[in-house]
Structure 1
Amino acid sequence: MDSVDLSVFKTLQKWLEADLMVWLVTVVKTFGSSPRQPGAMLVLRSDGVLVGSVSGGCIEDDLASKSVSGELPTEQAKLMVYGVTRDEAQRFNLPCGGSLELVVEPVKTNIWVAEILNAINGHRLIKRELNLSSLQSHCSDAKVTDTAVQITDQHLSVVYGPRWRLLIIGAGQTSAYLAEMAQSLDYQVSICEPRDAMRESWDVDGVELLNLMPDDAVLAMQPDAHTAIVALTHDPKLDDMALLEALKSAAFYVGALGSKSNNANRRKRLAMFDLSTSEIERLHGPVGLPIGSRTPPEIAIAILAELIQLRRSAVASSKPSQVAEIQSVCN
């Protein structure tokens, strides 16, 4: 869950505690080009104030207007469709042929909101099932493999929480920037740091700090296709220990900090162990996209940019005709 959607739930909780009339709006389906993917949300109150995004601004304005004029549902959830006709596409600045389906839900109770926030704070995935007519909700534990959003005539099911994991080896300055930025991109972040002095100076909130040797940390995580592993200690003994296990795992990304020459030497060292040529070729080193980054925050941006590129290209290759373009519709 990204930081924008997390702020939606925090705001929803605050407004409910203030006894305000509020609606939760969720993107449930997209067709053609669309600005946000299913699962994107906003929370809206009766005076038109809102937090979050479902379109980039244009549809938000229409929803705010409807809330002020009393046109939004108050006793059951409603499916609303934008952009089906050419006139609507032009009115809401949707790209040609694009459309969005939204569920607009009047929220009556704070109980399930607290459940979701507790799960997110505990780095757990949680599924919420909503009866569109009665507004009754049920929350349960979810898996990464569960479909993010499902809707039928009577029910909406949405999975919330971190669907991606990032294991960082080393608790240095670059790691701190990377951990902070990664959390806003839907990553559950863990830091492996066996050095006492480095652990004591770590001060990034929301991150699991592991007092394990790097190879043990990788094995304990049981990396899957939603896991990225980045070695940033600059100590070959520690970084290589992690890489020996990470490159054999199912992690979708394995990277190591260092120059081209350092990584060339690293590949030679790795070849001395039980790694195949294809496994060693999986290593991203130097780590991150080559954008000329030098400072710790720039290096963190380069790493995350490469993770975004890989995630998006993987989606595009699996669903070439259905991928929504990630762009603003209100330029």
Structure 2
Amino acid sequence: MESSSVPVYYGDEYLTQETRDLLSSLPSEKGWLVSQMYQFEGSWQTQALLQGIVNCQKHFEANESDVILSTLPKSGTTWLKALLFALINRHKFPVSGNHPLLVTNPHSLVPFLEGDYYVSPDVNFSELPSPRLIQTHIPYHLLPVSVKRSSCKIVYCCRSPKDTFVSLWHFGRKLAPEETAGYPIETAVEAFCQGKFIGGPFWDLVLEYWYESRKNPDKVLFITYEELKKQTEVEIKRIAEFIGCGFAAEEEVSEIVKLCSFESLSSLEVNRQGKLPIIGIESNAFFRKGEIGGWRDTLSESLAEVIDKTTEEKLGGSGLKFSC
């Protein structure tokens, strides 16, 4: 077992012998978040999250009314968890009242599918109120069969590759300073462009959801972090219509947006102090800047060009473009 200071999803506390046997057969690379990451069916994962993916593939049964929030790591997941939780539960928890988001970190309110299944294959989501809201970083092709076959809705959000990389970079330096200390940012950019980072490769996995949303728009809603930031109320109404809980009053939208704003969430004591239960990650690690184009503070022009060139090569002809 690794040091107790290592977040659960980067450790090996709950690994089974079956997972250890699987890991021994997979390609592996040193990452800038963990000592070792593993390539499993086209995606790079930590040993813990790989176990979680395999377990939920075997055991998770989707309900027809489920709402699955899917993202790549560091693509606005915390914000979206808050927005969708407030949206789906707005009749149970009026925004004007003593809302759970004021006293509970969004990650504790919305289950993390493969994370929960890493800890135990016997996860029981049956007690969640309907519609169940569940979050995942799992690539589309690795989602449990029941998710694809059911009528449940998938809301997928992606962020521009340069901002995604920079957010990952700073997240890694905060969570795993010993791992990242000897890992130059130039090497990290090269690895990112090769798809070798936790949750990667960026472009291949984003395109999976992009193409699925175009083929089956009633099943998958594709949104970008940039559009969500620029026109939050418009995008929230689009999400609400997609999952079947449209707004009756305009003020409801603005109230939810205000409650879940970066400024509001990041200022709350519950998101500034302490660690999240079970996973052991500091609450404030999920709130850095949340800006569009924030990569300019970290990436040199030459490194930005490397990512831009890869983006052009990978997304060419897809119809998907990023504005920054």
Same topology, TM > 0.5: no
Question: Which bin holds the TM-score, normalised by the shorter protein?
Answer: under 0.3
> Which gives a bigger RCO, structure 1 or 2 (Cα 8 Å, sep 6+)?
2
Highest CA radius of gyration, 1 or 2? 1
By percentage of residues, which structure has more strand?
A: 1
For normalisation by structure 1, the TM-score amounts to: 0.25
